[in-house]
Amino acid sequence: MDKPPLTKEGFEVIKAQLHELKTKARPEISQAIAEARAHGDLKENAEYHAAKEQQTLLEKKIAIIESTLANCVIIDVKDIPYSGKVVFGATLKLYDVNEDKEIQYRLVGNLESDPDRGLISIDTPIARGLLGKELDDEVAIETPSGTKHFEILDIQHL
């Protein structure tokens, strides 16, 4: 996919994160640099170098987010006619055969991925293995940690 996909909700969350980085984190780092610079000799000033490194990382993060937001395709899964198949943005209830438990995932874009909250990137082996599958399908997916087996219990366009 040339343009990275984002859910409509993810786009709004990431836009808010970008605003926070620009209006809060950026001025805080600038302040830390100014305070460290006031301590004198910059060659041996660890606080100054740490703050400059933080600034570099922050600016890279801002640039990545801005680029993604400028070039993304925003997809509202509610606008996709329900077909009974797993699609980008769908919320899935799965039975994890390996772990003997039910889990819930939502397939999202890379930037909005948060596995701890059940948001998995469309580019992960699990998401790629589930795309296009249907309700009640049993799926075996090769992952870096071994083969995972799932049964699709529910597919929702929330």
Q: Encode pLDDT of 2-57 as tens digits.
A: 789 999 999 999 999 999 999 999 999 999 999 888 887 777 788 899 999 999 99
Task: Give the fold, CATH level 3, of 5-75.
Answer: Helix Hairpins (1.10.287)
Q: Which CATH code of 3.90.1150.10, 3.40.190.290, 3.30.1490.100, 3.10.50.30 fits the domain covering 77-156?
A: 3.10.50.30
Is 120 in contact with 128 (CB distance < 8 Å)?
A: no
Domain with CATH 1.10.287.180 in the chain: 5-75
Residues carrying CATH 3.10.50.30, the chain: 77-156
Structure confidence by residue, pLDDT tens digits, 104-133: 999 999 999 999 999 999 999 999 999 999
- Going by pLDDT thresholds of 50, 70 and 90, the confidence category of residue 157 is very high
CA distances, 88 to each of 33, 56, 60, 79 (Å) = 42, 33, 27, 12
User: What are the φ/ψ torsions at residue 97 (nearest 5 degrees)?
Assistant: -65, -40
* Tokens encoding 24: 């809060």
Strands, E assignment, 67-100? 73-75, 91-96
Model confidence at 76: pLDDT above 90: yes
